[in-house]
Amino acid sequence: MVAESPDVPSREELIALVQAQAAQIAALLARVAELERRLGLNSSNSGKPPSSDGLRKPARVSSLRECSAKKPGGQKGHEGETLRQTTDPDAVVDHFPSICSGCGGALTPGMALDYAARQVHDLPEPRPLVVTEHRAHGCLCRGCGARTRGAFPNGVNAPVQYGARIAAFAVYLLHQQLLPQKRLVALMIDLFGVRIASATLEGMSRACATRLQGFSETVRGLVAGAPIKHMDETGFRIGGKTQWLHVACTSLLTFYRTCARRGSLLTGVAGIVIHDHWKPYYTMTGVLHALCNAHHLRELKALVEIEKEDWARQMQRLLRRACHATNLARRRGVLLKPGLVARIERRYDAIVAGGLAFHEKQTPLAREVAKRGGKTRGRAPRRTGHNLLLRFLTRRADTLRFLHDPAVPFSNNEAERDVRMMKLRMKISGGFRSQEGAADFATIRGFLSTAKKQGWNIIEALSRDPPDLAKRLRPA
């Protein structure tokens, strides 16, 4: 019998080597699939912002909504926003013919029979600032000889200062239209011929935020106690570090706050909280949860386009139709029929069961191998679609809460709209240099958003007394 050479591996060693190479290949294939999936994600099929799409933005030829039989544009009965003539013009300019078009004779205004009117709506000529001088007179009493001086109005504190209206206008442009300070300085020069220093604008913002603190706390309490509220959060650059901006809002109220930690959630909350399945929200006690199905539709779209999973297409269609049914019922002021809700839930359960059966048949993904020691660690990874199915299974009531409660919307778009403008502020002007500046911006922006939802004139609201406005708030 010929002895084996010491350089030739044994059968057991070859089997172990092949198994190790197979595991490595599987891990590499999984890594390639994950990288390809990341390349396929964009703002239409994930939570990525549109700015991350770059120059290769996907064509806006598809939508998360289902196509309807309606034609594009305004529908029949829609009032529209057409510019119309007013019955009380500010100025009238008469144009009379001087020569008759028939015989060439002279015509005078006294010969006019009727007229045709055309109106031009335009802005007035920008005017310089109106300067109002307040004079506090001193009077000498003839009886006792005492000298008494009149009092200046509240808010008139310096020999020369800007008024409340120009401060409201500057705060509006800074925090509602998100103009950078230098561009606002240029605008004030161009339109009104007044030069306002950047430090003065900062002082106006600081003073406005201080005045609005009590109003902001009132809004916070109303939102926390509202039957239904939306919550979301986003990264915020403050002092060169990433911190967090949280929003809690309703259709009529908006409350912002800045936090160093993302998990610093609003306290004293009751009712139903609508969010995007960020797990720390489930640590809140005494509340019910409703998940954002717009997020679900985007995730399902990625599974349809990238992984080609058929269950995802079925769930996508079901959620869209359920949303359409609830919208119709809400417009008619009625509840969904129990039979229809039951059919939707049965179909939901069947799709989830089919999706889980599909993933159980797939080859398990390789576990991550530690760099040192070569041992696997952690639980066996799951595919993205499998994780979403488990969410649909375990959070079934939160996903379908909009079917049972007509006050619960289908998505968390209310909070996402309020967050979107805050991100736009960072894109325009970058982050904040101080915690105080970020907190002031959050306070003022929350007031402006609330004022707009309440239907108030923003410039007028900024000039009013905040406690009086707080009494006028409509919580729902």
Q: Is residue 386 part of a domain?
A: yes
| Of 106, 167, 211, 174, residue with least CA distance to 467 | 211
Percent of the chain past pLDDT 70, that is, above it, reads 88
pLDDT of residue 293: 96
Count of structural domains within the chain: 1
* pLDDT tops 90 at residue 368: no
State the amino acid at position 133 in one-letter form. Answer: E
pLDDT of residue 73: 65
In angstroms, the CA 20 to CA 17 distance is 5
Q: How confident is the model at residue 365 (pLDDT cuts 50, 70, 90)?
A: confident
Q: How confident is the model at residue 128 (pLDDT cuts 50, 70, 90)?
A: confident
218 neighbors 468 (Cβ within 8 angstroms):
no
Q: How confident is the model at residue 418 (pLDDT cuts 50, 70, 90)?
A: very high
pLDDT of residue 401: 96
* pLDDT tops 60 at residue 371: no
The 10s digit of each residue's pLDDT in 150-187 is 999 988 999 999 988 999 999 999 999 999 999 999 99
Distance from the Cα of residue 116 to its chain's centroid? 47
pLDDT of residue 426: 82
In angstroms, the CA 10 to CA 3 distance is 12
* pLDDT tops 90 at residue 40: no
Beta bridge partners of 232: 247
Q: Is residue 406 part of a domain?
A: yes
Q: Is residue 264 part of a domain?
A: no
* pLDDT tops 90 at residue 272: yes
pLDDT of residue 4: 54
In angstroms, the CA 40 to CA 296 distance is 17
Q: Which two tokens stand for residue 351?
A: 């799709």
Mean residue pLDDT of the chain comes to 87
Percent of the chain past pLDDT 90, that is, above it, reads 57
* pLDDT tops 80 at residue 125: yes
Of residues 207 and 12, more confidently modeled: 207
Q: Is residue 236 part of a domain?
A: no
* pLDDT tops 90 at residue 56: no
Which residues, other chains included, contact 171 with Cβ-Cβ below 8 Å and sequence gap of 6+? Answer: 204, 205, 208, 444, 462
Highest mean pLDDT range out of 265-269, 377-381, 394-398?
A: 394-398
Range of the domain at 330: 293-367+379-411
Q: Is residue 77 part of a domain?
A: no
pLDDT of residue 284: 92
Of residues 459 and 67, more confidently modeled: 459
Beta bridge partners of 243: 236
**What separation in angstroms does the CA of 55 have from each of 29, 45, 50, 51, 86?**
29, 17, 10, 9, 45
pLDDT of residue 173: 94
State the amino acid at position 192 in one-letter form. Answer: F
3-state SS of the chain is CCCCCCCCCCHHHHHHHHHHHHHHHHHHHHHHHHHHHHHHCCCCCCCCCHHHHCCCCCCCCCCCCCCCCCCCCCCCCCCCCCCCCCCCCCCCCCCCCCECCCCCCECCHHHCCCCCCCCCCCCCCCCCCCCCCCCCCEEECCCCCCEEECCCCCCCCCCCCCCHHHHHHHHHHHHCCCCCHHHHHHHHHHHHCCCCCHHHHHHHHHHHHHHCHHHHHHHHHHHHHCCEEEEEEEEEEECCEEEEEEEEECCCCEEEEEECCCCCCCCCCCEEEEECCCHHHHHCCCEEEEECHHHHHHHHHHHHHHHCCHHHHHHHHHHHHHHHHHHHHHHHCCCCCHHHHHHHHHHHHHHHHHHHHHHHCCCCCCCEECCCCCCEECCCCCCHHHHHHHHHHHCHHHHCHHHHCCCCCCCCHHHHHHHHHHHHHHHHHCCECCHHHHHHHHHHHHHHHHHHHHCCCHHHHHHCCHHHHHHCCCCC
In angstroms, the CA 27 to CA 379 distance is 15
pLDDT of residue 358: 94
pLDDT of residue 74: 67
pLDDT of residue 57: 64
The vertex-422 CA angle with 417 and 428, nearest 5°, equals 125
Least confident of 7-11, 35-39, 208-212, 332-336: 35-39
Q: How confident is the model at residue 55 (pLDDT cuts 50, 70, 90)?
A: low
Q: Is residue 393 part of a domain?
A: yes
Q: Is residue 52 part of a domain?
A: no
Q: Is residue 449 part of a domain?
A: no
Q: Is the pTM of this model over 0.75?
A: yes
* pLDDT tops 80 at residue 1: no
- Tell me the mean pLDDT in the region 321-333: 93
* pLDDT tops 90 at residue 94: yes
* pLDDT tops 60 at residue 195: yes
